[in-house]
């Protein structure tokens, strides 16, 4: 299917991810924003909530049940888990669905219940979902009705490790991932822990040994390797608005070196429009990708024998969320994958 012009609805447009989806869609020549939802903000103009988006003639925010779906082709679901599943499962069948929540990422409903503390009530819709790590899902995206965008941490980790795993230069034993993200990853709702006085001039680890992105990373690595995978994953919150850096400590396959890993990454991302290998010796930084849909990766020899350090950076709101959603929708619609995503990183 090739669609030249697509009318979209952004659900959850009053959150950070929803706002970035709107911002990116405004620069997309093939998308028209036909409806915006934000149940707690229904009746307000987008400019009242986000003044930087107040001059584009956007529709006002509505409750989801008040949206007229007949003139809409696709939905970007920027809703919390639980709410997303419940709402998307009752939308008209003609709609293409790109979900940014966690509700359709995990294949096993029992695993979902264990990590998200609720029963999955749409297993039939879940069975139709495509896991939308675009670079590894393109064939399945064409013709898909529902795409589950990966979480921000899994996006960075998988883009860094899947090319190495495919090339056979790493093994998945003793995989240690140290991850850091800006505070927008925690959403826009008021939380004491996210107040400036709590996070400014400070950083801390959280969800040690129990972050919800762990089973998602393990699921995809297991599917790629054909074996069960367990990882050590520790996320940290940094006092910045957006950006994400993951440091993956990996064991090299017998006979392989960090130089072999670099060559594998170079080959694996050579034709990718948004995933890049950094110059040798350059440590990727979040400032290198801020505001863009790009992912920058590099690999370094570890001082420990037979190990390497793989670093990847993304903007958690763009490549880790709204940008990847639009990239997926482009593929679903048969449009050029880069449409709406040509923004260069913002620096300084």
Q: Give the per-residue pLDDT at 195.
A: 78
Averaged pLDDT score across all residues of the chain = 95
Structural domains present in the chain: 6-151+319-333 (3.40.50.720), 153-316 (3.30.360.10)
Q: What's the CA angle centered on 151, arms 156 and 295, to 5 degrees?
A: 25
Band of the pLDDT at 2, cuts 50, 70, 90? low
Report yes or no: 217 and 233 within 8 Å, Cβ to Cβ: yes
Q: Which residues pair with 259 in a beta bridge?
A: none
| Range in 180-194, 231-245, 327-341 the model is least confident about | 180-194
Q: Alpha helices of the chain — where are they, by DSSP H?
A: 16-26, 46-49, 83-88, 109-116, 123-128, 134-141, 152-167, 196-199, 213-225, 258-269, 323-333
- pLDDT tens for 145-166 read 999 999 999 999 999 999 999 9
Residues 326 and 323: their CA atoms lie apart, in Å, by 5
Q: Which of 152, 248, 256, 295 is catalytic?
A: 152
Q: Give the per-residue pLDDT at 194.
A: 73
SS3 31: strand
152 is catalytic: yes
CB atoms inside a 10 Å sphere around CB 249:
16
Q: Give the per-residue pLDDT at 4.
A: 75
Place of tokens 């998200």: 116
Residues 344 and 261: their CA atoms lie apart, in Å, by 27
Q: Give the per-residue pLDDT at 198.
A: 82
- Is the pLDDT reported for residue 187 higher than 80? no
Q: Which whole number is the average pLDDT over 306-317?
A: 98
Task: Enter the pTM of the model.
Answer: 0.95
């Amino acid at each position: 299917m090739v669609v030249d012009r697509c009318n979209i609805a952004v659900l959850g447009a009053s959150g950070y991810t929803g706002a970035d989806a709107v911002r990116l869609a405004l620069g997309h020549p093939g998308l028209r924003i036909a409806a915006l939802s934000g149940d707690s903000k229904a009746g307000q103009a987008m400019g009242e909530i986000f003044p930087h988006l107040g001059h584009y003639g956007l529709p006002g925010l509505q409750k989801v049940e008040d949206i007229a779906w007949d003139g809409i082709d696709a939905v970007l679901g920027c809703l919390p888990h639980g709410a997303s599943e419940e709402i998307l499962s009752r939308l008209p069948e003609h709609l293409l669905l790109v979900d940014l929540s966690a509700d359709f990422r995990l294949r096993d409903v029992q695993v979902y219940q264990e990590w998200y503390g609720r029963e999955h009530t749409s297993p039939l819709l879940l069975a139709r979902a495509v896991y939308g790590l675009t670079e590894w899902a393109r064939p399945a995206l064409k013709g898909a009705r529902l795409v589950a965008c990966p979480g921000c941490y899994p996006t960075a980790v998988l883009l860094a490790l899947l090319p190495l795993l495919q090339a056979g230069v790493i093994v998945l034993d003793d995989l240690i991932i140290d991850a850091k993200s800006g505070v927008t990853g925690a959403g826009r709702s008021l939380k004491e822990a996210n107040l400036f006085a709590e996070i400014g001039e400070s950083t801390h680890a959280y969800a040690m040994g129990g972050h919800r992105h762990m089973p998602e990373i393990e699921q995809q690595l297991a599917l790629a390797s054909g074996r069960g995978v367990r990882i050590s994953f520790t996320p940290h919150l940094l006092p910045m608005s957006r950006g994400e850096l993951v440091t993956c400590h990996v064991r090299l396959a017998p006979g392989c070196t960090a130089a072999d890993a670099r060559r594998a990454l170079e080959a694996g991302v050579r034709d990718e429009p948004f995933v890049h290998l950094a110059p040798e010796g350059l440590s990727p930084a979040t400032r290198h990708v801020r505001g863009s849909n790009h992912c920058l990766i590099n690999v370094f020899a570890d001082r420990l024998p037979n190990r390497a350090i793989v670093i990847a950076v993304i903007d958690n709101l763009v490549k880790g969320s709204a940008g990847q959603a639009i990239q997926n929708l482009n593929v679903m619609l048969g449009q050029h994958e880069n449409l709406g995503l040509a923004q260069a990183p913002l620096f300084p």
